[in-house]
Structure 1
Amino acid sequence: MEYVLERSVKMQHHIELPKNKDLLSNLTLNSENIHPDIFNHKEVISMIAKNGVYMEINLIGTLILDMIIKDKNINEITSEISNLFNEKEKIIENDVLLFLEDLVNKGYLVKLCLN
């Protein structure tokens, strides 16, 4: 199973990242220099929009969507987030799938069933 952004969905980050660095790399390499509020689950890091309807996304959601855009699969997403936050992969996988299914139900993502 693969997830992709719906064609009309646009994503915008609310934080400045160094050029040539994605959010995950920046967090991994510079974790001691990051303001602790960024790890707050309520802190808005990005927004996605579809047909003028906006949805605010927190840090973990932004990481997940960034990896979806880069065509990473659920196992890769789960592993990277698990390593970053020192959490069990099974817990992360459940949370990732719930988040992605919520975005599918709201029309921001499309789920592709590949054989």
Structure 2
Amino acid sequence: MKKLHIQEKKDNLSGLDRVTIEHKLADSETFCDKCGNALIIIGKKSKEILKCKPAELYIEEHISYTYACKNCEADAYKANIISAKMPNNFLYKSMTSNELLSHVVSMKYQYSMPLY
């Protein structure tokens, strides 16, 4: 039996402007709750959101940093790992911003615009 290969659609968004927004913990939150030592950054997550201004599209890249306490890291059961919060979207794991989604829906249903 022959396998069917489905390719993901990859849009070319490289020509769009980018705005980077970093989400870090406040200075008062960068200390371990358990031992009081300073937390260090151990990683980061990136999320790209396609944003829309009237007649302009751009990508807003949100970077969330993850922190850990080196002092508590020695004991695996007491490891203290904290991540900065990222903004939520209406559609989970979608690249579209809430503003862009509402714009598309209003153009579709209020002005009868096609979706292509």
The interval holding the TM-score normalised by the smaller chain is: under 0.3
Answer 1 or 2: higher relative contact order, Cα 8 Å, separation at least 6.
Answer: 1
Bigger share in helix: 1
- When Rg is computed on C-alpha atoms for both structures, the one with the higher figure is 2
Bigger share in strand: 2
